[in-house]
Amino acid sequence: MQLDDLLTQVDNHRDELLTLVKDLIRFPTESPPARNTEEAQSFIAEKLREIGFSIDQWDVFPHDPNVVGTLKGEQPDVYQSLIINGHIDVAEVENDVGWTQNPFEPVVKDGRIYGRGTADMKGGLAGALFALQLLKDNGIVLPGDVIFQSVIGEEVGEAGTLECCEKGYKADGAIVVDTSDLAIQGQGGVITGWVTIKSPTTYHDALRRNMIHAGGGLYGASAIEKMVKLIEGLKELEQHWAVTKSYQGFPAGMSTINPAVIEGGRHAAFVADECRLWITVHFYPDENHMEIAKEVEDHLLKVSEADPWLRHHPPIFKWGGKSMIEDKGEIFPSLNINQEGKLVQQLTRAHSNILATKPQVGMSQTVTDGGWLGEAGIPTIIYGPGDLRNAHSTNESVEVSQLVDFTKVMLTFIYQWSHTKKEEL
């Protein structure tokens, strides 16, 4: 069967594609609260089995399993392998105020399909899965391996994709089918951290005058007041980065340090003996999250050296984490793509063949799990239906026509990539 005939079938089976999207939306996989993806992941696993994938399924957290399906190619040593990656969790719905329907009961209206996760990113998962189903139904046996990863926890920094990498899943290329409005994208990165100031001694607030007046005799300080100095230091570093750092495709000043949450003190009758600051740091695609963390640490330690009390009680740092729910921390590594690389070029051709125009190639203004795949040494790009205006929004939706186009592009790309010999790339 010719590829053009397969593409026609996407149109002919459009209703089946939409049914698959709806089936996924009906699983209420909000994160937070999370721990609720087991049923949805079992559904994905069964669909993959029907196509011929072997399944690896394991709990990252209780009732939140990863699913990885592997479809062995006929000549995997000769032809290119591919990872298709997406997350099954969706942004939380705190309440349904403003929604015109139940967020988990999808509807099609005026050329769009509505429901939580349509844009971010069950539409992408469904389109990629449906493309594989059509290949199977039409007897197409791929020469190269295809690995399909449906992971948990992306919405709250739970590194389901990192676990896939740690288990050793590799390929010659990877596509994260997350929200990109059918643009080919890399991304900057994000790391969160806790900065803690702690006094070795706790003092009654009546002794505060002894700390701040001549002859008081107490070498003490309020951890809250000292944290103010570090917050100012972070602002200075952020402004310095805005002047000295840049990356093509990003507006100036995209490397930011947000003092997001502050916790300090124990009671009004005590001088604050501890203060903790939760920060979020955004950085550019050509930067590494651990190097960025060190830049922040080095700067704050220099600020501390200039303070008589902080010099002897410097801040303590804790960076990242595997879950915003479990340990209040997350890391999204950056993803710097090679625009002249074969992965970008081949997907560009597939997109252009379907939409008769070249895709935009650039950088996402948000973050995905793609950075973990890139950090594992796998050439990776982000490419999926839906736009950021709809991701996480009330009445989230995606254009039906874009879902159909995406499915056609993925069908084309999977077929062509898998039929490309390794030495040709």
* Complete DSSP assignment for 183-238: -EEEE-EEEEEEEEEE-SS--BGGGHHHHHSTT-------HHHHHHHHHHHHHHHH
Distances (CA, A) of 421 to 172, 174, 296: 11, 16, 45
Res 381 pLDDT > 60:
yes
Torsion, Cα 289 294 295 297, to 10 degrees, reads 130
Predicted confidence at residue 217, as pLDDT, reads 67
Predicted confidence at residue 213, as pLDDT, reads 72
What is the Cα–Cα distance from 357 to 397, expressed in whole angstroms? 24
Specify the DSSP class assigned to residue 249.
T
204 and 172 in a single domain? The answer is: no
What is the Cα–Cα distance from 247 to 188, expressed in whole angstroms? 9
Domain boundary, last residue among 270, 287, 319: 319
What is the Cα–Cα distance from 195 to 230, expressed in whole angstroms? 9
Domain boundary, last residue among 258, 292, 319: 319
Predicted confidence at residue 424, as pLDDT, reads 62
210 and 276 in a single domain? The answer is: yes
44 and 181 in a single domain? The answer is: yes
209 and 314 in a single domain? The answer is: yes
CA angle at 162 for the pair 329 and 257, rounded to the nearest 5°? 35
pTM of structure = 0.94
pLDDT class of 211 with cuts at 50, 70, 90: confident
């790339």: which residue's tokens? 425
Does some domain include residue 231? yes
pLDDT class of 335 with cuts at 50, 70, 90: very high
171 and 259 in a single domain? The answer is: no
What is the Cα–Cα distance from 294 to 17, expressed in whole angstroms? 47
Question: 176 in helix, strand or coil?
Answer: strand
342 and 265 in a single domain? The answer is: no
Does some domain include residue 326? no
Does some domain include residue 328? no
236 and 382 in a single domain? The answer is: no
Sign for the pseudo-dihedral over CA of 335, 384, 77, 170: positive
Predicted confidence at residue 121, as pLDDT, reads 97
* Top-confidence residue, 322 or 413: 413
Does some domain include residue 327? no
Q: How many domains does the structure of the chain reveal?
A: 2
Does some domain include residue 309? yes
Active site residues: 89, 154
Q: Which domain holds residue 215?
A: 189-319
Question: 47 in helix, strand or coil?
Answer: helix
97 and 211 in a single domain? The answer is: no
What is the Cα–Cα distance from 262 to 277, expressed in whole angstroms? 5
Residue closest to 331 by CA, chosen among 299, 363, 295, 367: 367
For 377-388, what is the mean pLDDT? 97
Residues in the chain: 425
The overall average pLDDT reported for the chain is 95
Q: Tokens representing 320? A: 């990242």
What pairs with residue 149 in β-bridges? 68, 85
Q: What is the pLDDT of residues 214-264, one digit of tens each?
A: 777 677 899 999 999 999 999 999 999 999 999 988 888 999 999 999 999
Spatial contact of 333 and 162, defined as CB atoms under 8 Å apart: no
396 and 268 in a single domain? The answer is: no
- Of the candidate ranges 63-67, 179-183, 364-368, the one whose mean pLDDT is the lowest: 364-368
What CATH number has the domain bearing residue 76?
3.40.630.10
What is the Cα–Cα distance from 402 to 422, expressed in whole angstroms? 31
**What would the 3-class secondary structure string for 17-37 be?**
HHHHHHHHHCCCCECCCCCCC
Residue closest to 397 by CA, chosen among 123, 27, 85: 123
Res 425 pLDDT > 60:
no
Residue closest to 266 by CA, chosen among 237, 223, 311, 298: 223
42 and 171 in a single domain? The answer is: yes
Does some domain include residue 330? no
pLDDT class of 95 with cuts at 50, 70, 90: confident
Torsion, Cα 14 18 23 27, to 10 degrees, reads 150
Does some domain include residue 22? yes
94 and 202 in a single domain? The answer is: no
Domain boundary, last residue among 319, 346, 368: 319
Res 399 pLDDT > 70:
yes
210 and 348 in a single domain? The answer is: no
Predicted confidence at residue 423, as pLDDT, reads 78
What is the Cα–Cα distance from 237 to 302, expressed in whole angstroms? 11
Q: Tokens representing 323? A: 């879950």
What CATH number has the domain bearing residue 311?
3.30.70.360
Does some domain include residue 212? yes
